[in-house]
Amino acid sequence: MVVAKLVYEFSEGDRDQKDLLGGKGANLAEMTRLGLPVPPGFTITTEACRFFLERGHQPDQLRVQVTAALRHLEDRVGRRLGDSVDPLLVSVRSGAKYSMPGMMETVLNVGLNDRSVVGLVEESGDERFAWDSYRRLIQMFGKTVLGVEGEAFGAALDAAKERKGVRTDVELDAGDLKTLVEEFKSIVADHTGREFPQDPREQLDLATLSVFESWNTDRARLYRRRERIPHDLGTAVNVCTMVFGNLGSTSGTGVCFTRDPATGQPGVYGDYLVNAQGEDVVSGIRNTLSLDDFAEVDPASYRELRQIMRRLETHYRDLCDIEFTVERGKLWMLQTRVGKRTAAAAFRIATQLVDEQLITLDEALERVAGAQLAQLMFPQFDIGAERTLLTRGMAASPGAAVGKVVFDSATAVAWATRGEPVVLVRKETNPEDLEGMIAATGILTSRGGKTSHAAVVARGMGKTAVCGAESLEVDSVDRAARAGDVTVHEGDLLSIDGTTGEVFLGELPVVPSPVVLYLEEGLEKAVASLQEGGNEGTADVVRAVDRLLTHADRVRRLRVRANADNAADADRARRMGAEGIGLCRTEHMFLGERRTLIERVILADSSQERDTALQALVPAQTEDFVDLLTSMDGLPTTIRLLDPPLHEFLPDRSELMVKVAVAEERGQVDRDDVRLLAAVERLHESNPMLGLRGVRLGLTVPGLFALQVRAIAQAAARRVKAGGDPRPEIMVPLVGSVMELHLIRDEADAILAEVSAAEGVDLHIPLGTMIELPRAALTAFRIAEAAEFFSFGTNDLTQTTWGFSRDDVEAAFFAAYLDKGVFTVSPFESLDVDGVGRLLDIATREGRRTRPDLKTGVCGEHGGDPESIHFFHTTGLDYVSCSPFRVPIARLEAGRAVLGHPDTHTHTDDDIEKG
């Protein structure tokens, strides 16, 4: 039998072993390897944890390997765990691959017992400290390992203080604490039916298992679901020699960052607390010292720390987040990791590190994410404005929203209808709140996280939302919400920041994003305007964004186009860096004033009448396309022929039925309405998404597609004659069979030839198809015979592959599905690689087998989703197309995708089917 290595001493591992040792363990090992002053210890692997979670008991070998590691540790430090003389004490901490702050267990001071506490008194020379440490162990161990309710200990502590007549713990002396230890031991015995374990090794083993178990607590599972961390990773356990920052004025503890993680400002940054332990810094009870103050208090330790910080940043080549403790003048490093940072800081720090020649531009690009760029592109609350924080929740859907508070959907609709922006505040939302959510400018809930109904629906709508603001008490009966002392009433103004999760009282001024300013106006203008306003830091962010976007453009293989339906959108898209239009939806051109024209086509009683109505539309369509092609001069412009079912251009059936019925009741029947209703009934479909639309319309309504093709051809001819470089592409929607496309192509070719001849301009306009039906993907090798390009409509393809319509199901059950783990993310947000992705892969490979120069792209919403873009890159698509606003994000991620997947052409014709 091969025995797995389940225990690694800190000196044995390194930072690349996060899978096995967890993040904390890997970094402790790395610092040890660097020779930094890390208290000795060892890490029990995630593999041991997974074994325990699967089988319900620890692996046999674990006990043996822990004994070996512990003996070695004891020999190195020259002390024995829980000895009565100068005892070795250890901390037992969880440490998973991904940080899950506050989710799992920690037990400090393991090794203390009735005998070793005496040894600690002697060794530390501080009786109060030793008994307090013992008291803390029993309390923490009782709660965490033995499952005693924390309140029992709390009550005893309060009683002790009351007996003594003091208010704080620190006023209890050694004697008081000694008594308290006895009381705590009784509590353990009473609650668990067994004595607090005096055997130090038993303490260690039980603490280890309890860390393992803490992986599967409800809140840990919930956290992982929210953060999309897999449930099967398990946690490592770090056993580390205890060092104490609370041994008097020459001791202390602190956290520091090698750069400012909030703004990205260069220069170190941190807090130090004299005579304290780590928990005290985080809890924020006492005021902390800055690093400059620390330099004065303990110059030697400060100098050593600064050297280590520099060393770590050079070694990790990134912003480091460090925890340290000084025990009687001796500096110890307790933890380090690459530090989290804001989006703005991410861009600034990445480019700073390039300038300091610590990383390459490629690496800098890998350090920033599309999601961060997206955050920087949302409108923000004016940073200069006064603000009063009401509460804080999860940043569920980004943006800055201001509105009057309402507590129910009906009020939201009513107020919004009369033009008042509202913020809908609910404990949680459900499908019945949908209309209110649509009406609101922002959504705030006190329960649920990033996968709650409110969050899922808000993101789907692109609406600002803060969810799970747990300190908020929502009382929808009294129409009030309380956070601490503050009560907000219906009609009060709130400002919610969906990017940070912050909720402010009153109306904060919203300013456009400086990054958007830069994209719209160019770098120089934006920087000048920011510097004028004194925002040098923000100017620096904009410069960093520009550098990294420019670099992404240089390295990426995927082209980025935009979805734009008119010249204004196209202009905007071009400014955002779009290299063409991937989807122009022509149906929007028939709304407004032109609706009557298309209505006439639909209601025509004869083919002659219909032809006349269609003819009337040609000049207007031609103008549309001339404008578009002018905006996009020199760039490919993909125009989709009419897609929606015709009844979408007519009034709603139910409303019309009611109108006619009520009119009949009144004896005031309008003949036009009756005629209209007949047409609406004729075109009525039970499932319009699966009905007569797209190419099916083109093949059953004579002249409809011809009108559009003619307008495109005439517009192109007109642009050519005007000296332009129009590059229209005709896209046929909803094709399921190659024959459909052949038929449309025959019709289109004839018209193009006719217009070419008439205008005296040689037009070659590529014709391609959407791939938005599973059958299209499955028969792509046939469809490619008639298509010069494929554009994956991943939105519709997701709907047909899964058999659900976004409109119907997102609000109805996506929250439940996310909660139950059926989805880890909505397949409308991020492409479902296993199902929809497989179809894309099949279609791309097999389509290219038929037509090697087939151009392939995506024009569904996934075209702007960072995760999906990496998949599209790997699959070998030629371009993505997304809303103009997401173009910069797609550019950035397309660049990052190259770095993540240097060898992109892994698919060959000989690939066997996966699965």
Decide if residue 800 touches its own copies (CB under 8 A): yes
Selected from 809, 829, 904, 907, the binder of its own copies by CB under 8 A is 809
Q: Are 370 and 869 in contact (CB under 8 A)?
A: yes
Decide if residue 817 touches its own copies (CB under 8 A): yes
Selected from 50, 703, 813, 830, the binder of its own copies by CB under 8 A is 813
Q: At which residue do the structure tokens 């699959």 appear?
A: 875
Task: Number of residues interacting with its own copies: please give it, by CB under 8 A.
Answer: 69
Closest to its own copies by CB, 389 vs 822, is 822
Decide if residue 810 touches its own copies (CB under 8 A): no
**Looking at 50-58, 335-343, 779-787, 882-890, which segment touches its own copies (CB under 8 A)?**
779-787
Q: Are 651 and 676 in contact (CB under 8 A)?
A: yes
Decide if residue 781 touches its own copies (CB under 8 A): yes
Q: What is the nearest approach in angstroms of its own copies to the Cβ of residue 746? A: 11
Q: How many CB atoms lie within 10 A of CB 32?
A: 21
Residues 644-703 that bind its own copies (CB under 8 A): 653-654, 657-658, 661-662, 665-666, 682, 685-692, 696, 699-700
3-class DSSP string for 351-376: HHHHHCCCCCHHHHHHHCCHHHHHHH
Q: Give the residue from 778, 642, 650, 749 showing the smallest Cα distance to 700.
A: 642
Decide if residue 835 touches its own copies (CB under 8 A): yes
**Looking at 244-252, 329-337, 400-408, 774-782, which segment touches its own copies (CB under 8 A)?**
774-782
Decide if residue 803 touches its own copies (CB under 8 A): yes
Please name the helix (run of DSSP H) or strand (run of DSSP E) that holds residue 332, with its range, or none. Answer: strand 330-338
Decide if residue 602 touches its own copies (CB under 8 A): no
**Looking at 230-238, 568-576, 777-785, 888-896, which segment touches its own copies (CB under 8 A)?**
777-785
List, in sequence order, every beta strand (DSSP E) within 275-329. 289-290, 320-327
Selected from 295, 812, 825, 899, the binder of its own copies by CB under 8 A is 812
**Looking at 187-195, 571-579, 759-767, 834-842, which segment touches its own copies (CB under 8 A)?**
834-842
Q: What is the nearest approach in angstroms of its own copies to the Cβ of residue 445? A: 19
Is residue 870 annotated as a catalytic residue, yes or no? no
In 500-517, which positions are buried (b, 16+ CB within 10 angstroms) versus exposed (e)?
A: bbbbbbeebebeebbbbb
DSSP 8-state secondary structure symbol assigned to residue 690? G
Closest to its own copies by CB, 302 vs 649, is 649
Among 240, 453, 467, 862, the active-site one is 453
What are the structure tokens assigned to 736, written together?
A: 């399921």
Residues 418-457 that bind its own copies (CB under 8 A): 431-432
Q: Are 26 and 15 in contact (CB under 8 A)?
A: yes
Q: Are 228 and 825 in contact (CB under 8 A)?
A: yes
Decide if residue 846 touches its own copies (CB under 8 A): yes
DSSP string, 472-530: EEEETTTTEEEETTEEEETT-EEEEETTTTEEEES-PPEE--HHHHHHHH-HHHHHHHH
Q: What is the nearest approach in angstroms of its own copies to the Cβ of residue 546? A: 41
Decide if residue 821 touches its own copies (CB under 8 A): yes
Decide if residue 836 touches its own copies (CB under 8 A): yes
Residues 707-746 that bind its own copies (CB under 8 A): 734, 736-737, 739-740, 743
**Looking at 245-253, 539-547, 861-869, 906-914, which segment touches its own copies (CB under 8 A)?**
906-914
Task: Give the length of the chain.
Answer: 915
**Looking at 192-200, 211-219, 399-407, 829-837, which segment touches its own copies (CB under 8 A)?**
829-837
Q: What is the nearest approach in angstroms of its own copies to the Cβ of residue 660? A: 9
Question: What is the rounded (10 degree) CA torsion for 340, 343, 345, 349?
Answer: 80
How do beta strands 389-392 and 502-505 pair? Answer: antiparallel
Q: What is the nearest approach in angstroms of its own copies to the Cβ of residue 47? A: 23
Interface mask toward its own copies for 456-495; x: CB under 8 A: ----------------------------------------
Decide if residue 223 touches its own copies (CB under 8 A): no
Closest to its own copies by CB, 244 vs 817, is 817
Residues 155-174 that bind its own copies (CB under 8 A): none
Is residue 859 annotated as a catalytic residue, yes or no? yes
Question: What is the rounded (10 degree) CA torsion for 69, 72, 78, 81?
Answer: 30
Interface mask toward its own copies for 743-762; x: CB under 8 A: x-------------------
Q: Give the residue from 584, 575, 615, 583 showing the smallest Cα distance to 597.
A: 615
Closest to its own copies by CB, 266 vs 691, is 691
Selected from 522, 822, 900, 906, the binder of its own copies by CB under 8 A is 822
Decide if residue 605 touches its own copies (CB under 8 A): no
User: What is the rounded distance in angstroms from the CA atom of residue 780 to the CA atom of residue 791?
Assistant: 12
Q: Are 604 and 613 in contact (CB under 8 A)?
A: yes
Closest to its own copies by CB, 608 vs 908, is 908
Q: What is the nearest approach in angstroms of its own copies to the Cβ of residue 372? A: 30
Q: Give the residue from 235, 339, 336 showing the smallest Cα distance to 28.
A: 336
User: What is the rounded distance in angstroms from the CA atom of residue 112 to the CA atom of residue 242?
Assistant: 11
Closest to its own copies by CB, 739 vs 758, is 739
Q: Give the residue from 16, 238, 302, 21 showing the smallest Cα distance to 110.
A: 238
Q: How many CB atoms lie within 10 A of CB 785?
A: 13
Decide if residue 778 touches its own copies (CB under 8 A): yes
Q: What is the largest CA-CA distance in the chain?
A: 107
**Looking at 119-127, 291-299, 593-601, 794-802, which segment touches its own copies (CB under 8 A)?**
794-802
Q: How far is CA 435 from CA 396, 410, 446, 494, 680, in A?
A: 19, 8, 19, 20, 25
DSSP 8-state secondary structure symbol assigned to residue 562? E
Q: What is the nearest approach in angstroms of its own copies to the Cβ of residue 738? A: 9
DSSP string, 818-848: HHTTS-SS-TTTS--IIIIIHHHHHHHHHHH
Among 256, 320, 859, 882, the active-site one is 859
Q: Are 338 and 536 in contact (CB under 8 A)?
A: no
What are the structure tokens assigned to 609, written together?
A: 């009448």
**Looking at 572-580, 624-632, 716-724, 841-849, which segment touches its own copies (CB under 8 A)?**
841-849
- Give me the residues that bind its own copies (CB under 8 A), please: 431-432, 653-654, 657-658, 661-662, 665-666, 682, 685-692, 696, 699-700, 734, 736-737, 739-740, 743, 772-775, 778-779, 781-782, 796, 799-805, 807-809, 812-813, 816-817, 820-823, 832, 834-836, 838-839, 842, 846, 849, 910-913, 915
Would you name the residues annotated as active-site residues?
453, 859
